Amino acid sequence: MAEISAPRGVRDILPDESWKWAHVFRTIGETARNFGYSEVHLPIFEHTELFARGIGDTTDVVEKEMYTFTDKGGRSITLRPEATASMVRSYLEHRMDILPQPVKMWCTGPMFRYERPQKGRYRQFWQVDFESLGSPHPYADVEIIALSLEAFRRLGLTSLEVVINSVGCPACRPAYRKELSDYFASRSEELCGTCRDRLERNPLRILDCKREGCRKVTEDAPDVLGSLCEECREHFDSVRSGLDSLGAAYHIDKRLVRGLDYYTKTAYEVLSGALGSQNAVCGGGRYDNLAEAIGGPPVPGVGFAAGVDRIVMVMEQEGCSFGPEPLIDVFGVALDEPSRTELFRLVDALRRAGISADMDYGKRSMKAQMKSASSRKARFACIIGESEVAAGTVVVKNLQDGEQREIPVSDAPLDIRTQLLSTRKG
């Protein structure tokens, strides 16, 4: 046992899982390319101010969940709890406004939040994050929704369903906010303590309280769609008709809100799984006032983020394929010590020919080495002993059908490659 273990709420992604992650990243990366999104790599820490302004300092994330520290230069630094603010900061810093708009970028990496660890929730968690910056057009929203749907479809998730709503804009939201807070005030005795605190500060957030009592009260809450201004209404209608034209099924959920002022118009989530056990696999929406919130000029934007830990978990629950498991092609078996040098040379030649090959270096019996070959699920064993060294040959044993042939050792890379290709095709 190691004396030092990983801190609470973080974990290692080990080989039995990491190959699944690689499949998820590859699939999402291909989808991104098909939709014209370029990958960027952003810093893991930023000035604390970016998140305080770009997420909102009354949110749980900023109030309670950030990993913030003072660096040796006396600056307040925060490990990123999400990627959108960094993405917009990068757009502004690199003057991407002079490029053709929208600028479409995605990134992936670990995010950090000090939350209570529970199943599927970690303090270091991975997200993929997509942002389309610079276009106010409703089709930018539709594109983002279609992209997320397509990525999840390619990953094999089923019963995908889009839930959308509009959260309005600074022109129409204050009236809705007032209407909502009057409504909740009239039923405040039914709300939980947290929601009573939210009455003044942020009544929209009461809509996504998970408590039974609060959910019951929200059922009759005024609908945001009834108070949209003309611009927001038109935008929402265009998003809906855009989704219709792509044949994407969706339904409207008036509880889907974002409590912060820079979120505007479209809010959406993608759900997967049979009814009753539906999982949100991504969330996103439009944030036309975020760039200004962090001190830039107005830049319209829309995007989504999805948790990779969660995607993998849902894929496992649904029995999705992660593609072929990366198995080894060849395991080398030496029958005695002097043969091991010859075997080592062969394994090296196989690797350089693009064949996955391995062997072990301990003095182990042939039986033990063959056992390793089968536990590594190798396709072939290459066996070399005294007589093979003398003859310049190797015994190639097909571990699937048991057939074995002795061939010149110099022919082995090409021979094995040919066999691997022919069986892969079949």
Query: Which residues are near Zn ion by CB under 5 A?
Result: 168-169, 171-172, 192, 195, 209, 211, 214, 229, 232
Q: Compute the least distance from the CB of residue 232 to Zn ion, in Å.
A: 3
| Minimum distance of Zn ion from residue 211's CB (angstroms) | 4
Strands 124-133 and 301-307: antiparallel
Six token digits for residue 230: 């003309």
Q: How far apart are the first and last CA of the chain?
A: 45
CB of 210 to Zn ion, least distance (A): 8
Secondary structure class of 382 (helix, strand, coil): strand
The residue among 168 and 300 lying less far from Zn ion, judged by its C-beta, is 168
Helices 308-317 and 15-34 sit at what angle, rounded to 10 degrees? 110
Ramachandran assignment for 347, one of left (phi > 0), alpha (psi -120 to 50 degrees), beta (any other): alpha
Q: Quote the CA–CA distance of 157 and 316 in Å, as a whole number.
A: 10
In terms of CB distance, is 192 or 280 closer to Zn ion? 192
CA distance 298 to 327: 51
Cα-based distances in Å from 381 to 348, 376, 400, 414: 15, 11, 10, 15
Residue 66's CB is within 10 A of a number of other CB atoms, namely 20
Are 43 and 87 in contact by the 8 Å Cβ rule? The answer is no
Q: In angstroms, give the least distance from the CB of 52 to Zn ion.
A: 25
CB of 162 to Zn ion, least distance (A): 22
**Amino acid making up residue 82:** E
Please answer whether residues 327 and 376 qualify as being in contact, where contact means their C-beta atoms are separated by less than 8 angstroms.
yes
Work out how close the CB of 160 gets to Zn ion at its nearest, in angstroms, rounded to a whole number. 29
CB of 213 to Zn ion, least distance (A): 7
* 234, two tokens: 């038109």
DSSP annotation of 4: S
Give, in order, the Cα–Cα distances in Å from 302 to each of 40, 113, 227, 305, 335: 17, 23, 22, 11, 63
Closest contact distance (angstroms) between CB of 265 and Zn ion is 7
